[in-house]
Chains A and B, each alone.
Chain A
Amino acid sequence: MAVVIKPKKFFEVCVEAELTPELALRSVDEVKKFKVYYGNKVVELGELFEVAKQGDEKKLILDGDFSRVKWIGARMVDGEIVVKGSVGANCGAFMRGGKITIEGNADDWLGIEMAGGEIIVKGNAGNLVGCAYYGDAVGMTAGKIVIEGNAGNYVGEKMNGGEIVIKGNAGDFIGTEMRAGVIEIHGSCGFVGGDMRGGEIRIKGSFELLPTFKKTEKGWVGDVNVKGEGVIKTF
């Protein structure tokens, strides 16, 4: 059954709540007892959020402004999360399946090392979409991220599969050290494909090419510095 979660107030500091659709399988009372981090205090979800049941899907409806709530949908494997407002950092981190729809904006580190599933952002996304986390070798490996608005810098760093679609503009340094997968940008962006080994970056608008790509029939191929076979092309 779907669970609807609504913030009771403006949070004085950010909340960390690894909310996944698994919660929809629990009773309202159980959901209220779910532990979340409010600054350095561990509190029950019910202290900060109103909880109600609605419908019968494995689905979370996050109703309101969740821009101060981090790690939503982290490690989720299936089911659905709909965020009616904006969402905080690390949303959909390490997710393996299911779907997250964000009606507002997403903060940094959306879909860190995502390995499956789908994330749709109706608004804008921050920096580091689909990247590898600090010290890790590989970013997003599968799944799809669609951003209807703009995205920030460093999208798809070390990406090794999956797809990122940005309907608006993207920032700078897109697909750095990318190995596989596809990044599609309908607007414009800055540098693309530094030390790219493989994969494809498609751009509709303008972008800046690094001096280490060769022009071929397929598009721009490189990065020659890593003997890469990544492709950058316009569409």
Chain B
Amino acid sequence: MLWIRNGIVVDPKNKINAEKMDIFIKNGKIVEENEVKKEECKVIDASGKLVVAGGVDMHAHIAGSKINTGRTMRPEEMRVVRNIAGKFRATVGRVLLTAPAIGYEYAKMGYTTSFEAAQPPIGALHTHEELDAIPMIDKAALPVFGNWHLVFKCIEEKNMEKLKALVAWAIERSKGFGVKVVNPGGVEAWMYGGNVKSLDDQVPGFNVTPREIITWLIKANEELGLPHSVHLHCNNLGVPGNYQTTIESIKLAKGFSNAKRQVLHVTHVQFNAYAGSSWRDAGSGAAEIAKVVNSMDNVTIDMGQPIFGHATAMTGDAPFQFSLHKLIGARWSNKDTEVETGAGIVPIGYLPNNPVHALQWAIGLELGLLVDSNKVALTTDYPNGGPFTEYPYVMAMLMSKKMREGELSKVNAYVQKATGLASIDVEKTLYEVIHMTRSLPAKILGLENKGHLGIGADADIAIYNLNPLETDTSKEFEKVYKMFKSAEYTIKGGEIIVKGGELVKEVYGRTFWVDATKKADIQAVMPDIREYFNYYSVQLGNYGVEERWIKKPARIEVV
């Protein structure tokens, strides 16, 4: 039992804005005052300190074959030593971190949940092994659907019952959480060196288009009633002029509604928000995208903010990765995965004086500033945009125009011409930024007990040495940055895991997975699956992940 006394609480979900309150914890949950025996409580004096829910990262690449190939490819990344073996594991990594380092660094920053954003279904067991190796945080993974031959087949046949059954079956088999779609149709086209360029391009060899893939999957997702919506990495990622494809894709959500959440989440939008026709005349499409997102009540996005310095591009968008390799001449890994999906990896770096990189940096911030705080979550698309450990930088930048002015003066002047960042006066409030990093991502993911401090919530809490009543976030950005980098306390499931920015206890969180098999007639698609498995390289009986193989599984049943 834990009693957090006199903290200044910011809890946007429960409309609490900087109120002095006590919080009580029992059995890993936040409880009413009368449910604890105060004399038995360990007391944390949080006087003058900010108390918020643990951070929720809704989109990062933290586990599975992609990040592990990245590590293998980049020993120079692993030479940065973070922790010497002792009470805690040895950890290394500059931006690409080892699994223990991922858990530790999130915890030190006050984050307690992170989602792996792309899991090839056939590789799910690998993803889960790595998730199991990440200490401190709760986690989950999103299997990918947008280029799977079986998905194409269901859509070609216009058979929604089959598609729903396939989605429910695949999420159950991969112990995944929701429906990720990466460059729908484009990755299949890449298998013969191509890509798709518009929502209405036909996928080579199939009578389907990206538009159909997205809308059919939204429909299936909504009819199944999954906690999270379709999670879309748009077509044309990284291509100047792509903001129009992004807007068209966002508009596909029209006609769907869900009382609890969005029906479409569009991810790392920065990479899909470029105007212009080439990198020579590229500009920002952020304002137009923001206008569309703000005008709709069923779409959310996340930023995909680049951080200057090292990064590694790794996505299921294999054709994009090859284009990037050709563009910059860097090392390139690729993985074509059965008839399911693909992926690629390329090391990159963002340099302030490079006009393209500065543009990307500015666009990310524009999105964060111009989109309604209830519709944009904070991400770096780790490690594509850079390290998640720099979220505090992004938080501080969103809250301070003065900080942005200082940073703008250090980057390539092309940004002034190609984006509107300099003229944006918006300064997000602390309340809004806490929402964008806690309650909003939890809501987008459909995690009812995460991202807030209400009764019944998971006792995942961060305490920062920052008094919101006495801090001017606009002026004191350096302090804000420093404080969010290093939590005074991080509490995970009711246990203190970080104190004074240092690890004090190693714990292992849960792995959430969604079981929607009762919401669909799985048998409707089994004959097709059986037939397709003639073309797999593993037996149907050996495909997938059993719950007992996972360290701490947490099944969420959709009924």
Contact = CB atoms under 8 A, between A and B. Distances in A.
Interface of A: 133-136
A136 B75 CA distance: 9
8 contacts: A133-B76, A134-B75, A134-B76, A135-B73, A135-B75, A135-B76, A135-B77, A136-B76
B149 interface: no
Interface of A is mostly: loop
A21 to B, nearest CB: 25
A136 B347 CA distance: 12
A109 to B, nearest CB: 14
A135 B310 CA distance: 14
Nearest to B77: A135
Contacts of B76: 133-136
B93 to A, nearest CB: 13
Nearest to B73: A135
B74 interface: yes
Interface size, B (range): under 10
A64 to B, nearest CB: 31
Interface of B: 73-77
Contacts of B77: 135
Nearest to A134: B75
Given A135-B75, A135-B77, 7 more contacts: A133-B76, A134-B75, A134-B76, A135-B73, A135-B74, A135-B76, A136-B76
Contacts of A136: 76
Contacts of B73: 135
Closest 7 CB pairs of A and B: A135-B76, A135-B75, A134-B75, A135-B74, A136-B76, A134-B76, A135-B77
Contacts of B75: 134-135
Contacts of A134: 75-76
Nearest to A136: B76
Nearest to B78: A135
Nearest to B74: A135
Q: Which of A133, A134, A135, A136 has the most CB of B within 10 A?
A: A135
A198 to B, nearest CB: 16
Nearest to B347: A135
A134 B77 CA distance: 10
A213 to B, nearest CB: 22
A133 B78 CA distance: 13
A38 to B, nearest CB: 17
A161 to B, nearest CB: 20
A136 B76 CA distance: 6
Contacts of A135: 73-77
A219 to B, nearest CB: 27
B70 to A, nearest CB: 12
A134 B75 CA distance: 6
A134 B73 CA distance: 10
A63 B377 CA distance: 63
A179 B73 CA distance: 22
A54 B76 CA distance: 40
Contacts of B74: 135
A166 B75 CA distance: 30
A136 B73 CA distance: 11
B471 to A, nearest CB: 42
B331 to A, nearest CB: 9
A106 B37 CA distance: 70
A133 B75 CA distance: 9
A135 B70 CA distance: 12
A135 B76 CA distance: 5
Contacts of A133: 76
Nearest to A132: B76
A196 B73 CA distance: 22
A91 B73 CA distance: 26
B38 to A, nearest CB: 47
A135 B75 CA distance: 6
Nearest to A133: B76
A135 B331 CA distance: 10
A37 to B, nearest CB: 13
B94 to A, nearest CB: 11
A135 B73 CA distance: 8
A136 B77 CA distance: 10
A224 B73 CA distance: 26
A134 B71 CA distance: 12
A133 B76 CA distance: 8
A201 to B, nearest CB: 24
Nearest to A137: B76
B508 to A, nearest CB: 27
A223 B76 CA distance: 27
A135 B74 CA distance: 6
A134 B74 CA distance: 8
A136 B74 CA distance: 9
B90 to A, nearest CB: 12
A134 B78 CA distance: 11
A134 B331 CA distance: 13
Nearest to A135: B76
A134 to B, nearest CB: 4
B115 to A, nearest CB: 29
A86 B230 CA distance: 64
Nearest to B76: A135
A135 B347 CA distance: 11
B299 to A, nearest CB: 40
B537 to A, nearest CB: 31
